[in-house]
Amino acid sequence: MLEIKNLSMEIEGKHILKDVSITLEQGKVYALFGPNGSGKSTLINTIMGIYKQSSGSIAYDNHYLDDKQIDQITRLGISMAFQHPPEIRGVTLHDMINICLKRKQGTALDQKTKDLVTRLKLDSFLKREINVDFSGGERKRADMLQILLMKPKVLLLDEPDSGVDIESLKTICKELQDYITKNNASALIITHQGYIMDYIKVDLGCVLFNGSIRCYKDPREIIKDISTKGYAECVDCPNLTKDVGTK
Residue 34 CB, nearest approach to Mg ion (Å): 9
Name the binder of 38 from Mg ion, ligand ADP, none, CB < 5-8 A by kind.
Answer: ligand ADP
User: Which residues, listed in sequence order, are joined to residue 2 by a DSSP beta bridge?
Assistant: 24, 60
CB closer to ligand ADP, 96 vs 235: 235
Residue 231 CB, nearest approach to ligand ADP (Å): 11
C-alpha 24/C-alpha 97 separation (Å) is 28
C-alpha 92/C-alpha 129 separation (Å) is 4
CB closer to ligand ADP, 36 vs 111: 36
CA dihedral 215→242→26→139, nearest 10 degrees, is: 60
Name the binder of 16 from Mg ion, ligand ADP, none, CB < 5-8 A by kind.
Answer: ligand ADP
Task: Please report how the helices 93-100 and 136-149 are oriented relative to each other, as an axis angle in degrees rounded to 10.
Answer: 30
Question: β-strands 29-33, 204-209: how paired?
Answer: parallel
Residue 209 CB, nearest approach to ligand ADP (Å): 10
CB closer to ligand ADP, 34 vs 77: 34
Name the binder of 42 from ligand ADP, Mg ion, none, CB < 5-8 A by kind.
Answer: ligand ADP
C-alpha 29/C-alpha 202 separation (Å) is 5
Name the binder of 168 from Mg ion, ligand ADP, none, CB < 5-8 A by kind.
Answer: none
CA dihedral 93→95→100→102, nearest 10 degrees, is: 170
CB closer to Mg ion, 49 vs 160: 160
Question: Rule CB under 6 A: which residues touch ligand ADP?
Answer: 11-12, 16, 34, 36-42
C-alpha 243/C-alpha 23 separation (Å) is 10
| Residues of this chain, 29-48, that bind Mg ion according to CB under 5 A | 40-41
CB closer to ligand ADP, 2 vs 32: 32
Q: Which residues bind Mg ion (CB under 5 A)?
A: 40-41, 83
